[in-house]
Amino acid sequence: MARAALHFWEEPPLSGVAGSGAVFFVNCPLHCVYCQNAEIAAGDSGVAVSEERLADLFLNLQAQGALNVNCVTPTHYSLQIARAVELARQRGLSLPIVWNTSGYERVPVIEALGATVNVYLADFKYADAQMAQRYSHAPDYPDVALEAIEAMARQAGEPRFDEVDGLPRMTGGVVVRHLVLPGALEQSKQALSMLFERFGNAVLYSVMNQYTPVMPAASLERYPELAARVPDAEYEELLDFADSLGMEDYFWQEGPAAEESFIPAWDGSGVL
């Protein structure tokens, strides 16, 4: 574990006013070259905890008023998380469980999470296999992620909400995120097209403009196109494209979204 604390930078129905109970897990199956959380994705920090301690963390977040338990990069600990959720529910956990994933999931794993997860918050990073290989070493990403998101939608159903502090809280369904990368406007249009053709408005979409160049200089020499942020004009063009597809429910980011506020400190907050 790298952090278990209230997090205020998810989509509004997940963060609300009180914050999402974000539990950040160390290590990641993809290791995207531009990862903003590279320190924990590579396993360079973190604290080992038992399933019983993880259940404690979930309950601590509920006591702090979190809107949900938000498991960030959880894939490789699926079995342990499911057990911890069961233990926590036996002790009074009543919050929705959010599965915050890269989208690079196996369908049988998603199917096995039916009794654990309420909301899937899944990336769809790439529609292009070559781009997936270049940035995430996973040329099969588009096919794998689409099949996984389809399994999530079958399991979680259409988006559902209740109300907390006078605002909607998401209690079920799927949100699919797409992060716009510099120089990749056409690929982003392709990604949104693929998603909408497959899922229509049965899922929610989040078109994200928070890409921040955080790569070391040596890496930027290999990926010079990732040295800049996405121009506002390109992002606006993509939002117009989403509208033209018929996307009715999607989140978008305004202003200087690419801020350090999206990258918390990996100091063991809430774990130690």
CATH of residue 205's domain is 3.20.20.70
Confidence check: pLDDT of 258 > 60: no
Residue 256 predicted with pLDDT over 80: no
262 pLDDT above the threshold of 90: no
This prediction has a pTM of 0.96
Please count the structural domains in the chain: 1
Residue 270 lies in a domain: no
Over 80: is that where the pLDDT of 259 sits?
no
Q: What domain range includes position 196?
A: 3-262
- 269 within some domain: no
Q: What's the pLDDT band for 115 if we cut at 50, 70, 90?
A: very high
Inform me whether the pLDDT recorded for 263 exceeds 80. Answer: no
**Model confidence pLDDT, tens digit, residues 134-178:** 999 999 999 999 999 999 999 999 999 999 999 999 999 999 999
CA distances for 180 relative to 50, 73, 187, 188, 237, angstroms? 36, 19, 9, 6, 11
